[in-house]
Amino acid sequence: MEMYENSDMIKKAFDESFLSEPLRQAQLVEMIELKKIIKELSDRKEGPISVLDMGIGNARVPKHLCGIKEIWNKIDRYLGIDHSDKCIELTKEVIKEYSLKDKLEVLKLDSVNLGTLKEKFDLIICTWFTAGNFYPEDFSFETDSSGKLKEKVNLDKNEKFTKIFSNAYKLLNSKGEIVLGSVYIDNEATNEKQEDFYKKCGMEIISRPRDSVTVTKNKYWSQRFTKEKIFNYLDFVPKEKLSFIPLDTYEYAMLIRIKK
């Protein structure tokens, strides 16, 4: 996705001074829940687990986890993938700075090509709203005379999203789990918060609130979800294997657990 090839935008997206309070809170609670899940899976396995981080970004998650030995020791293999050269570079810097090469590896790989991976994992994570960035292959960013998207966005289906997480599901070990970290909840208030963040980063909004996605002229795409839409997109997973954890009390973001 070319939106993440803009190094200036990547820098702003990772700069905490640009984060709104709702984003900060979602990031904090997401990490707390993730640590609980790592412990739960490790205890069940009675040993350390393997982790695949889809969209590792600036290695925010392993950088945090490695500072907590009680959690980091519950992981024996951590593979991060990203399609952005800048994110690969940032992660390699973290590996060197924190001396993590014995456990952390980074690989340039677009999530749509997950099927090329040959190993399986106990835990696959896609954190920090990344799951909402997978826009359909045929999506048009073309705008009309008003500067808004020319075509109405229909997200009843998102074949790219379904393909990516269907392939991820196949990469899980028995009793493994996929965790979609912070995921935007679809409502008007959340849309306003998304737009405020992108505007703060200097981007122009070209979507409309009715679209259930916030899109910028810079080709940043961030989808909002309902539980029903997740059930629809992940129809290959039994409903009882899906659970939703609110990350706040005002319906801004949720964490989704997908069990094998």
Residue 23 sits in a domain of what CATH number?
Answer: 3.40.50.150
- Tokens read off for 230: 């997740």
Instruction: Find out whether 10 and 87 touch, Cβ atoms under 8 Å.
Output: yes
- Tokens read off for 247: 């990350």
C-alpha–C-alpha distance, residues 46 and 68, integer Å: 19
Question: Does residue 76 lie in a domain region?
Answer: yes
Closest CA to 257 of 230, 226, 224: 230
Instruction: Find out whether 191 and 214 touch, Cβ atoms under 8 Å.
Output: yes
Instruction: Find out whether 165 and 114 touch, Cβ atoms under 8 Å.
Output: no
Q: Which domain holds residue 73?
A: 2-142+154-186+225-259
Question: Does residue 208 lie in a domain region?
Answer: no
Residue 2's pLDDT is 47
Q: How many domains does the chain have?
A: 1
SS3 of the chain: the string is CHHHHCHHHHHHHHCHHHCCHHHHHHHHHHHHHHHHHHHHHHHHHCCCEEEEEECCCCCHHHHHHCCCHHHHCCEEEEEEEECCHHHHHHHHHHHHHCCCCCCEEEEECCHHHHHHCCCCEEEEEECCCHHHHCCCCCCCCCECCCCCECCCCCCCCCHHHHHHHHHHHHCEEEEEEEEEEEEEECCHHHHHHHHHHHHHCCCCECCCHHHCEEEECCCCEEECECHHHHHHHCCCCCHHHEEEEECCCCCCEEEEEEEC
Neighbours of 209 (CB within 10 A): 16
C-alpha–C-alpha distance, residues 140 and 153, integer Å: 9
Residue 10's pLDDT is 61
Question: Does residue 202 lie in a domain region?
Answer: no
Per-residue model confidence as pLDDT tens for the chain (260 residues): 444 555 565 665 666 777 889 999 999 999 999 999 999 999 999 999 999 999 999 999 999 999 999 999 999 999 999 999 999 999 999 999 999 999 999 999 999 999 999 999 999 999 999 999 999 988 999 999 999 999 889 999 999 999 999 999 999 999 999 999 999 999 999 999 999 999 988 899 999 988 999 999 989 999 999 999 999 999 999 999 999 999 999 999 999 999 99
Question: Does residue 148 lie in a domain region?
Answer: no
Question: Does residue 41 lie in a domain region?
Answer: yes
Question: Does residue 199 lie in a domain region?
Answer: no
Neighbours of 116 (CB within 10 A): 9
Question: Does residue 240 lie in a domain region?
Answer: yes
Question: Does residue 191 lie in a domain region?
Answer: no
Which amino acid makes up residue 231? Answer: F
